[in-house]
Amino acid sequence: MHDRDELISELGEIFRENGFAGTSLSEITARTGLGKGSLYHFFPNGKSEMAEAVLHNIDAWFQENVFIPLRESDDALDGIDDMFAAVNAYFDSGNRICLVGAFALDNTRDQFLQEVSTYFSDWISALANALKRSGFAAAVAKSMAEEIVLGIQGALVLARSQEDPKIFTRTLKRLQQRIAATDHA
């Protein structure tokens, strides 16, 4: 581990693979090469604080690479295209799950309720904003945004269940095409 950002990034991968409850300090020491002393030096509150840091990093990444472009791109449709490209890269073409979605499903959610909740609500509202700017009525935009974000989450679940990441990539394509195919009146 060279710096804190790289450490947090690796912590994210460990949580993705094992879940929050399924991740042990001993696995973290093995994967990061850092002893418990070092880990508690960086994160005095232990595993919870590590997960908080990971969630914060995820939020920062999506703010920078997805939410702000969606809200501020000159051409709203370009911003949406960029979102699909960024999401495809982030989830490694269907080979990487969404940690926030995984946390949402069991009682891990309650420990990180704020982060879990705003991750998705920020995403949906930024996407709805772009859809609205591209010509959709507000209600239609909101509904489409919800459908797209939820479709991405479902595709990640299904892709992993079938060990077939292509389910994810073709879902992204379908969602993207539906925007183009829907009447912009």
Partner DNA sequence: GTCTATAAAGCGATAGAC
Partner DNA sequence: GTCTATCGCTTTATAGAC
Is residue 143 close enough to count as binding its own copies by CB under 8 A? Answer: yes
- Least separation, in Å, of the C-beta of 169 and DNA? 34
Is residue 44 close enough to count as binding DNA by CB under 7 A? Answer: yes
Show Cβ contacts of residue 114 under 8 Å, excluding neighbours closer than 6 positions. Answer: none
**Of the two residues 48 and 182, which places its CB atom closer to DNA in the complex?**
48
User: Which of its own copies, DNA, none does residue 53 bind to, with CB < 5 to 8 Å depending on kind?
Assistant: none
Q: How is residue 58 written in tokens?
A: 């995820």
CB 32 within 8 A of CB 1: yes
CB 176 within 8 A of CB 106: no
Q: Where are the alpha helices (DSSP H) in 63-137?
A: 68-72, 76-90, 99-105, 108-111, 113-133
Amino acid at 135: G
Is residue 24 close enough to count as binding DNA by CB under 7 A? Answer: yes
Is residue 38 close enough to count as binding DNA by CB under 7 A? Answer: yes
Q: How is residue 120 written in tokens?
A: 């998705």
Q: Distance of alpha carbon 98 from its chain centroid, rounded?
A: 5
User: Which of its own copies, DNA, none does residue 33 bind to, with CB < 5 to 8 Å depending on kind?
Assistant: DNA
Q: How far apart are CA 46 and CA 153, in angstroms?
A: 28
Tell me which stretch binds its own copies (CB under 8 A): 34-42, 44-52, 126-134, 152-160.
Answer: 152-160
- Least separation, in Å, of the C-beta of 101 and its own copies? 5
Q: Which of residues 45-64 bind DNA (CB under 7 A)?
A: 45-48
- Residues of this chain that interact with its own copies (CB under 8 A) are 16-22, 97, 100-102, 104-109, 116-117, 119-121, 143, 146-147, 149-158, 160-163, 167, 171, 174
